[in-house]
Amino acid sequence: MSIASRPAVELSRLQAGYQGKQVLDIEAAAIPAASLTAVVGPNGAGKSTLMAALAGTLTGNGALRTGYRGRPAFVPQHSAVPESLPCTAFDAVAMGRWAERGPWRKLTAADRAAIGEAMERLEITAFAHRRLGTLSGGQRQRVLVAQGLAQQAELLLLDEPDAGADPQARGLIADAIRAETRRGRAVVQVSHDLTEARRADHCLLLHRGHLHAAGHPDDVLTPTTINQVWVPS
C-alpha cells in the first residue's frame, strides 16, 4: 500500500473511559487519508471520547497506527479557553502555532502567514483584535476552527465545529474543511447534522460506545441504521 493511500489512522481494540469506567470499545476502525470522516451517533455514544483518544488527550488501551506526520490539531467541543481570558481572536489563532514552536515565542513570518490565512478563510480578520469574551458564540467558534487550521496539521480533529454557528459561518467552516482535504489532509468531524454527515467521504456511526457501522455515508446512514440507533428501544 502506498503512503498516499495508507489510512491516516488505523485503530484496533480501542478501549477508553473515565475514572476506570469504560465508555468506548471499538474493535477496529480506520480514518482514511486526504478525506473527510464524519463521526455521528446519539448523545453519549462516545464521539468526543473517540476524538480525545485520537488527539492523544485521553489515554486508552489498544493500538493506534498513524499514517500522518507530526501532531494532530484538535478543536474540542467546548473550548478550554476561558471567556474571561484577556486574549484576542488573533492571540487565540496564534496559539495554534504553539505546537510548532512552543508557547510565548516570537511569531515567525511563516507563523504569521499561517495565522493570517486561517483567519481569512474563516472571515474573522475584522475582529482580530477583539477579546474572545466579547465575541458571539458563532464568532468564537470560527476563531477556534481557525486555531485548528493554523496548525497546518496532517490530521485535523473537529468536535462539532459549527455548534452555534449561523448558516453563513457553517458554510465557511465546511469550505475550509473541504480545502483541507484537497490539500491532502485528513479531517475528522463530529456532527449531529446527518445532512452534513452525508457530504463526508467516510462515516463512523457510534452507538453506546461501539462502532455500529462504518463506510461511505450513503451505506452507513440508512433508514435501518438510523432507526436502530436513534429510535428509543
Ligand X SMILES: Nc1ncnc2c1ncn2[C@@H]1O[C@H](COP(=O)(O)OP(=O)(O)OP(=O)(O)O)[C@@H](O)[C@H]1O
Site of interaction with ligand X (CB under 6 A)? 18, 23, 41, 43-49
CB within 8 Å of 186: residues ≥ 6 apart: 8, 9, 31, 32, 33, 34, 35, 37, 68, 154, 155, 156
In whole angstroms, the minimum distance from the beta carbon of 18 to ligand X comes to 3
In the numeric block, the cell 515567525 is attached to: 108
Question: What angle is formed at CA 176 by the lines to CA 41 and CA 69, rounded to 5 degrees?
Answer: 80
CB-nearer residue toward ligand X: 46 or 148: 46
CB within 8 Å of 175: residues ≥ 6 apart: 121
Cell numbers that stand for 127 in this block: 475582529
Radius of gyration over every alpha carbon of the chain, rounded to an integer in angstroms: 18
CB-nearer residue toward ligand X: 47 or 202: 47
Distance CA 182, CA 1 (A): 20
In whole angstroms, the minimum distance from the beta carbon of 197 to ligand X comes to 13
In whole angstroms, the minimum distance from the beta carbon of 24 to ligand X comes to 7
Number of H helices, E strands in the chain: 9, 9
In whole angstroms, the minimum distance from the beta carbon of 50 to ligand X comes to 7
CB-nearer residue toward ligand X: 47 or 140: 47
**In 18-166, which ranges are continuous DSSP H helix?**
47-55, 89-94, 98-101, 109-121, 137-150
CB-nearer residue toward ligand X: 121 or 207: 207
Distance CA 226, CA 233 (A): 12
CB-nearer residue toward ligand X: 130 or 192: 192
In whole angstroms, the minimum distance from the beta carbon of 175 to ligand X comes to 24
In whole angstroms, the minimum distance from the beta carbon of 173 to ligand X comes to 18
CB-nearer residue toward ligand X: 141 or 152: 141
Tell me which DSSP letter residue 155 carries.
E
